[in-house]
Structure 1
């Protein structure tokens, strides 16, 4: 919703599924299973030589329980896997 509103103010076309998929495959958006997210995040950290990574979960229309599950999976599965992958 935010991207659509800001984009409209700037004359950009509305975001579409093709752009979303492109951002997942080639951009900075990381989406998927804990394993997929951990592998991609570890790759980004390695490539950039980053010392920290921050999490942004888009709440949009996501139900609260799904949002909480995502946060829990990140902390209990993704972060430990990333640490292992970066050793």
Structure 2
């Protein structure tokens, strides 16, 4: 049964990627670094969102999140 506590745990270090573009980018970069990923796919569970909100989510991923992830990972690899 879903609980608020489980939801909060998933937000922190779990499988949910929710928040501002900066928050989501940081979490993706952390996971990619920790698991040594070269590719990261997101599965959207956004069936309840209106079409306009889904479009905005995709727009933010391309315009803000992905560039920030690349920036974070390149900075971290430069320090290794």
**Which TM-score tier does this pair reach, normalised by the shorter chain?**
0.7 to 0.9
Displacement of 1:73 in angstroms is 0.1
What's the counterpart of residue 15 of structure 1? 2
Alpha-carbon distance, 1:36 to partner:
0.5
CA RMSD, Structure 1 to Structure 2 (Å): 1.1
* Secondary structure, aligned partner of 1:86: helix
Matched pairs, number: 74
TM-score (structure 1 length as normaliser): 0.78
Segments of 5+ residues of structure 2 without an aligned counterpart are 75-80
Distance apart, 1:16 and its partner CA: 2.7
Gaps spanning 5+ residues in structure 1: where?
Answer: 1-13
Residue 61 of structure 2: which of 74, 77, 83 is its match?
74
Specify the structure having the higher radius of gyration (Cα): 1
Distance in 2 separating the partners of 1:74 and 1:26: 19
